[in-house]
Amino acid sequence: MSESAPFSAESYFATQPPPASLEHDILGVREFVQQQLKKDRNVVLVTSGGTTVPLELNVVRFLDNFSAGTRGATSAEYFLKAGYAVIFMHRQFSLQPFSRHYSHSTNPFLDFLEIEAPPDAAPDSTPQICVAKEKREDLMSVLTAYKSVQASGTLHTLAFVTVNDYLWLLRAVSQELSALRRRALYYLAAAVSDFFLPRQKMSEHKIQSGKGSLHIEMDQVPKILKSMVDEWTKDGFIVSFKLETDPALLIPKARAALKRYGHQLVIANELHTRKYQVLFVTPSSPTSIPDDPADEDSAFTETWLRVDIPSTPSAVSQKEIEEEIVLELARRHSEWINEKKLRQTQR
Ligand code: PMT
Which residues, 6 or more positions from 336, have their beta carbon under 8 angstroms from its beta carbon?
182, 237, 264, 286
ipTM: 0.92
Which residues, 6 or more positions from 266, have their beta carbon under 8 angstroms from its beta carbon?
239, 240, 241, 242, 254, 255, 257, 258, 280, 281, 282
Containing 144, the helix (H) or strand (E) segment is: helix 136-152
**pLDDT, position 55:** 95
Whole-number Å distance, alpha carbon 80 to ligand 1 midpoint, is 21
- Give 139's Cβ-side CA count (13 Å radius): 15
Mutate to test the pocket of ligand 1, among 241, 255, 280 (most ligand atoms within 8 A of CB): 241
9-206+215-346 under CATH 3.40.50.720, yes or no: no
Mutate to test the pocket of ligand 1, among 8, 243, 279 (most ligand atoms within 8 A of CB): 243
Whole-number Å distance, alpha carbon 92 to ligand 1 midpoint, is 16
Ligand 1 atom 17, closest CA: 191
Spatial contact of 118 and 5, defined as CB atoms under 8 Å apart: no
Whole-number Å distance, alpha carbon 67 to ligand 1 midpoint, is 9
Ligand 1 atom 14, closest CA: 189
Containing 128, the helix (H) or strand (E) segment is: strand 128-131
Mutate to test the pocket of ligand 1, among 11, 65, 185, 225 (most ligand atoms within 8 A of CB): 225
Domain ranges in the chain are 9-206+215-346
Q: CA of 2: how far to CAs of 9, 61, 98, 169, in Å? A: 17, 21, 43, 26
Spatial contact of 248 and 292, defined as CB atoms under 8 Å apart: no
Residue type for position 295: D
pLDDT along the chain (347 residues), means of 10: 78 97 98 97 98 95 94 98 98 96 84 84 81 93 97 98 98 97 97 96 91 91 95 95 96 96 97 96 80 78 92 69 98 95 84
Containing 72, the helix (H) or strand (E) segment is: helix 70-81
